[in-house]
Amino acid sequence: MSQRGSIHRRGDVWIAYWRTETAEGRKQHTKSFRTKKEAQQFLTDTMAAIRGGVFSEPSKVTLGEFLVERWLPTKKMAVRVSTYASYRGLVERHVVPALGHVQIQQLSADRLDRFYADLVAQGLATKTVRNIHVLLHRALTDAVRKNLVPRNVADAADPPKLNRADREEMKTWTPEQLRQFFAGIANHRLAAAYILAATTGMRRGEVLGVRWRDIDFNARRLHVQQTVLAVEYQIVIGRPKTLRGERKIALDDQTIQVLRNHRAAQRQEKQLLGDGYHDQGLAFAREDGAPVHPDYFSQTFDRTVKRLGLPKIRLHDLRHTHATLGLAAGVHVKVISDRLGHATTSFTQDVYMHAIPAVEEDAADQIAQIVFNGTSAPEQSDEATTGQGHASLAGGDAEGDNPSPDESYDESDGR
């Protein structure tokens, strides 16, 4: 193949010219750009692709055709059902209407920037626009791998940045507020599920996916193996969010007792309903044994919080409460990270350390005690280092109550 090319200005646009030589003869190619910089970058990438033997002939495949007919079908086999539904929704609602007609090789970083700006101007949340950018970046990475385009133009695009107002504020409860909630939800048939969420930091779907066989009452361990999701309001049972999400979590004595009482109550429900009970082995189910819809679980939480006059937090913030109380009590961040099922300990530190300045203050005091007084810092108790100090969250005295890349695609259950 010839390795010659050039760029020229024509009116308000810049044109990249290059030639290729194939078995059918010599071909002249052109592509227009709004700026000289974009034209030069494209030509540089194209010449490098030709020299490297990975150049792809210009294709008339549109971005919409690639995403809907090629990319989404492959993702359906590779990601969780809820992730695929989210991908498809973003593609159908936002990408295809605005960019679906654009030939994939005519797509540019400048065009993506204008697309993102238009979405923000239309009132779409910055977080959602960034999710669209992550989706397009992943799709175009696959297009490069399949030689449909010479480079990923999303690399040079500038999605809107999240500012403080765009970030969801992390809100947590004190141990006293948590106990007030436990008392207020005590008579609800799913009270044990909310207590389990608070004393383990499990995600909503993970709690609703617990089966009795996943709980070892003697060893006080719970094995997270499945999750209940809502996809377009339909219930879907799937695997945990990540590989680290499939984990074993230590349980405290109070939570174990709460689960035993709940199991006894569920057995009574099953006996009363008889053949009408469709047993799926779920620890937390509807009256007929079917899975609890995640939205109902969250709505019941919201109504209870409002009824009790407690500070408004989301159900997911019980997870944050568990982490912050544990860290404040001196539980090692690695233990908290493992309990939450985070991919890395550093992620846990980034998410939670700023929420508990008292931890840093304690560290400063301990270091100063060594430097100025020559005395050693107090040793942590076994409970603090093993992560069992949260046990009395389900009840007890105040002392024991202090027990989000590469940018990732942000889905429903979050951190």
Ramachandran quadrant class, 323 (left: phi over 0; alpha: psi -120 to 50; beta: rest) = alpha
Interval 49-73: pLDDT, tens: 777 665 655 567 899 999 999 999 9
| Residue 71: strand, helix, or coil | helix
Interval 170-181: pLDDT, tens: 899 999 999 999
Domain covering 178-315: architecture: Orthogonal Bundle (1.10)
Q: Tell me how far apart the alpha carbons of residues 195 and 393 are, in angstroms, rounded to a whole number.
A: 9
* CATH 1.20.120.1770 fits domain 63-156: no
Higher per-residue pLDDT: 148 or 369 = 148
Q: So what's the pLDDT on residue 49? A: 73
Do 63-156 and 178-315 have matching folds? no
Higher per-residue pLDDT: 22 or 27 = 27
Q: Where are the domains of the chain?
A: 5-51, 63-156, 178-315
**Four-point Cα dihedral 348, 350, 353, 354, nearest 10:** -150
| 95-124 average pLDDT score | 95
- Which of the residue ranges 38-47, 245-254, 365-374 would you say has the lowest mean pLDDT? 365-374
| CB neighbour list of residue 301: distance below 8 Å, 6 or more residues apart | 194, 315
Q: Tell me how far apart the alpha carbons of residues 286 and 314 are, in angstroms, rounded to a whole number.
A: 22
Interval 154-167: pLDDT, tens: 999 999 998 765 56
Please report the DSSP string for 42-54 in residue order: HHHHHHHHHHTT-
Q: Tell me how far apart the alpha carbons of residues 286 and 8 are, in angstroms, rounded to a whole number.
A: 69
